[in-house]
Amino acid sequence: MEALEERPYAGLTVLDLSQGVSGPYCALILGQRGADVIKVEPPAGDWVRLMGGGRDGMTALAIASNPGKRSICVDAAQSGGREIILKLAERADIVVENFRPGVTAKLGLDYAELSRDNPGLIYVSITAFGESGPYAHKPGTDSVLQALTGMALVNKDPGGQPRRFGILVPDIATALYAAECVGAALFGRSRAHSGRGRHIRVSLAECCAAFQAGAILDDLLHAGQQRPPFTVPSGVFATRDGHAVLGTLREAMWKGMCRALGREDWLTEPRYATGALRGECAAEINREVAAILPGRTTAEWAALFEQHDVLFAPVLNYQGFRDDPQMRHMGYFGQTDQAPYGKLPLPHIPGTARSGALPAAPHCGEHSREILAEFGYDAAQIAALEQAGLVIQAA
């Protein structure tokens, strides 16, 4: 029972036709919750295998988005390759694709086609801007969506220059929303006792909107006004040996911070008497705090602020994050034995079991013969498919 609770999608088959990050990461989430994920790649491989450097097509993004999947390399542009995917889709519970609108229909692999012989199929289409409208056929990458949806502007530097976040926020947010939609669809299919699936459509643009709902409303409510800070002080401050963030959410935290900083005089300062008043003096308070914090090390400040229950955290790099004692205690990172690099740290998908090694991501076509055999192809048929260039098995 415990194993089933940890792997609720065990027994389900996911056909991952997607490339990049949003679709593959959605399929990864389903796989980490127990589903068998078959990643279908074209002869050139998923394009993310070429992004950001790496060896043997195993870039950081290719590894992070595909652990535990099995890869089959099929040329879907040829009718024989399309027939292979159709056969795989007959036994799939979920299909994930993130092509531009109309591409899967042109290939004969759209929801209408695949659900004809598999009415229980849950089919996930991820697009950049939606399936219709003036932008429907435009290419849309993570950077494009960060620019278009206000994300780059809300992350502007102190001089007002817009800048993209250094991580793939639109892609990962979309993957999370899409995976949640799959869970709801599976529940709905079971609850209705109809056995019928559905076509789930999500776009990076709408997911960016939902992800930023609070910021969008905040911008609207304070249009043309000076926006009050959420907390004072706020920001990143230099310490003697690094940087840290400091904030006070409640009055008790403000008082504790004043004592920790040795500025008890702020407790009786009329201009700082309430959170609203401190908001009017935010720049002044931030300057004062910035002048004080270089007097001690980050660790010294951390211990002092902890005594007073004040929001404080060091600014860490990724190695520092992995090595942090709280993260180690909670087991947030596992380890995978990933060719061609050897052992690598990899975060667990939240809510999944944290025992044993994490599975590796596949090379393009690593499991082509294995998957074909499972779907009824004999050795001679597989050899013929390879000879015709319809299927590629990784060396």
Do 205 and 245 lie in one domain? The reply is no
Q: Name the range with the highest mean pLDDT among 4-8, 38-42, 192-196.
A: 38-42
**pLDDT at residue 84, rounded to an integer:** 98
How confident is the prediction for the chain on average, in pLDDT?
95
Do 318 and 350 lie in one domain? The reply is no
CA–CA distances in Å: residue 97 to residues 218, 383, 390: 34, 28, 20
> Looking at residue 361, which CATH number applies to its domain?
3.40.50.10540
Task: For residue 241, give the amino acid letter.
Answer: D
Number of domains in the chain: 2
User: Does the pLDDT of residue 281 top 80, yes or no?
Assistant: yes
| Residue 16 CB neighbour total at 10 angstroms | 31
> Looking at residue 306, which CATH number applies to its domain?
3.30.1540.10
Least confident of 115-124, 127-136, 163-172, 215-224: 215-224
Do 167 and 308 lie in one domain? The reply is no
Query: What's the pLDDT band for 354 if we cut at 50, 70, 90?
Result: confident
Domain interval for residue 348: 2-213+334-392
Mean pLDDT over 125-141 rounds to 95
User: Does the pLDDT of residue 66 top 50, yes or no?
Assistant: yes
3-state helix, strand, coil in the chain (%, to 5): 45, 15, 40
- Residue 66 CA to residue 71 CA, distance in Å, equals 9
**pLDDT at residue 229, rounded to an integer:** 83
Pull the structure tokens for residue 83.
């027939």
- Are the C-beta atoms of 165 and 146 separated by less than 8 Å? yes
Do 54 and 107 lie in one domain? The reply is yes
pLDDT per residue over 290-347, tens digit each? 999 999 999 999 999 999 999 999 999 999 999 999 999 999 999 999 999 999 999 9
Do 136 and 26 lie in one domain? The reply is yes
* Omega of the bond leading into 340 within 30 degrees of 0 (cis): yes
Q: Kindly tell me the burial class for residue 373, based on how many C-beta atoms sit within 10 Å of its own C-beta (0-12, 13-18, 19 or more).
A: middle
Pairing type for strands 391-392 and 70-74 reads antiparallel
CA–CA distances in Å: residue 139 to residues 51, 126, 133, 146, 322: 17, 12, 13, 13, 35
CA–CA distances in Å: residue 284 to residues 27, 161, 237: 49, 23, 14
- Are the C-beta atoms of 78 and 52 separated by less than 8 Å? no
User: Does the pLDDT of residue 3 top 70, yes or no?
Assistant: no
Domain boundary among 295, 322, 349: 322
Mean pLDDT over 166-189 rounds to 97
**pLDDT at residue 19, rounded to an integer:** 97
- Are the C-beta atoms of 58 and 363 separated by less than 8 Å? yes
* Omega of the bond leading into 233 within 30 degrees of 0 (cis): yes
Query: What's the pLDDT band for 193 if we cut at 50, 70, 90?
Result: confident
Does residue 160 belong to any structural domain of this protein? yes
User: Does the pLDDT of residue 2 top 70, yes or no?
Assistant: no
Do 271 and 365 lie in one domain? The reply is no
**Please, what is the Cα angle at 357 between 356 and 360, to 5 degrees?**
150
Tell me the percentage of the chain whose pLDDT exceeds 70. Answer: 99
**pLDDT at residue 230, rounded to an integer:** 85
- DSSP lists the bridge partners of residue 201 as 125
Widest pairwise Cα distance in the chain = 86
Pull the structure tokens for residue 148.
């278009």
Question: Considering the entire predicted model, what is its pTM?
Answer: 0.93
Does residue 229 belong to any structural domain of this protein? no
Mean pLDDT over 350-373 rounds to 94
Does residue 327 belong to any structural domain of this protein? no
